[in-house]
Chain A
Amino acid sequence: MAIVFDGTRESYVEGLSEFLGSGRNTLPEWVTDLRREAISGFGNTGFPMLSDEEWRFTNLDVLRRTSFSIVGNGISDVSEKTVDSYGFSGLSCVRLVFVNGRFASPPSDELRDEEGVIATSLSKAACEYSDLVRNHLARYADYEKDPFISLNTSYFEDGVFIYVPDGVVFEKPVHVLYISTDEGQPMFVNPRNLIVVGQSSGAKVVEHYVSTSQNVYFSNVVTEVVCGENANLEHYRLEFESQKAFNFSTLRVNQRKNSNIASHSVLCGGALVRNNIHPVLAGEGCNSDIYGLFMSEGRQHMDNFMRVEHASPHCDSRQFYNGVLDGRSKGVFHGRIMVHEGAEKTDAKQTNRNLLLSDMAQIDTKPQLEIYNDDVKCTHGATIGQMDEEALFYLCSRGIPMRKAKIIMLRAFTNETLENMSISSIRDALEDSVMQWFERRLENGSGR
Chain B
Amino acid sequence: MSDFQKVAKVSDIAEGEVQSFFINAEAIAVCRVEGNFYAFKDECTHQSFTLSDGDLDGERIICCYHGAEFNVKTGEVLCLPAVEPLEVYPVRIDGDDILIKLD
Contacts and interface: CB of A to CB of B under 8 A. Distances in A.
Interface in B1-38: 1, 20, 22, 24-27
Contacts of B20: 61, 65
Interface in A285-308: 298-299, 301
A271 B1 contact: no
Interface stretch (B44-52, B69-77, B90-98): B44-52
Interface in B33-71: 42-43, 47-50
B25 A298 contact: no
Contacts of B48: 50, 56-59
A216 interface: yes
A interface: dominant SS: loop
Nearest to A66: B22
Contacts of B49: 50, 59
B102 interface: yes
Interface in A391-440: none
A365 to B, nearest CB: 15
A272 interface: yes
A356 B52 CA distance: 29
A62 interface: yes
Given A59-B48, A61-B20, A66-B22, A299 B102 contact: yes
B102 A50 contact: no
Contacts of B102: 299
A38 B51 CA distance: 32
B22 A299 contact: no
Interface string A263-288: 00000000110000000000000000
B50 A298 contact: no
Chain B contact residues (Cβ within 8 angstroms of A): what range? Answer: 10 to 19
A65 B22 contact: yes
B24 A59 contact: no
Chain A contact residues (Cβ within 8 angstroms of B): what range? Answer: 10 to 19
A198 B103 CA distance: 51
A216 B27 contact: no
A58 B42 CA distance: 13
Contact of A59 (B1, B50, B87, B103): B50
B47 A61 contact: no
B97 to A, nearest CB: 20
Contact of A62 (B1, B27, B47, B87): B27
Contact of B25 (A56, A57, A62, A328): A62
A58 B47 CA distance: 10
A59 B22 contact: no
A61 B52 CA distance: 11
Nearest to A300: B25
A244 interface: yes
A143 interface: no
A272 B25 contact: yes
B27 to A, nearest CB: 6
Nearest to A59: B48
Interface string A305-344: 0000000000000000000000010000000000000000
A271 B24 contact: yes
B25 A271 contact: yes
Contacts of A58: 48
A163 interface: no
A246 interface: yes
24 contacts: A50-B47, A57-B48, A58-B48, A59-B27, A59-B48, A59-B49, A59-B50, A61-B20, A61-B50, A62-B22, A62-B25, A62-B27, A65-B20, A65-B22, A216-B24, A243-B24, A271-B25, A272-B25, A298-B1, A299-B25, A299-B26, A301-B25, A328-B87, A328-B103
The 3 lowest CB-CB distance pairs between A and B, nearest first, are A271-B25, A272-B25, A271-B24
Given A59-B50, A61-B42, A271-B26, 7 more contacts: A57-B48, A59-B48, A61-B27, A216-B24, A299-B25, A299-B102, A328-B87
Interface of B: 1, 20, 22, 24-27, 42-43, 47-50, 87, 102-103
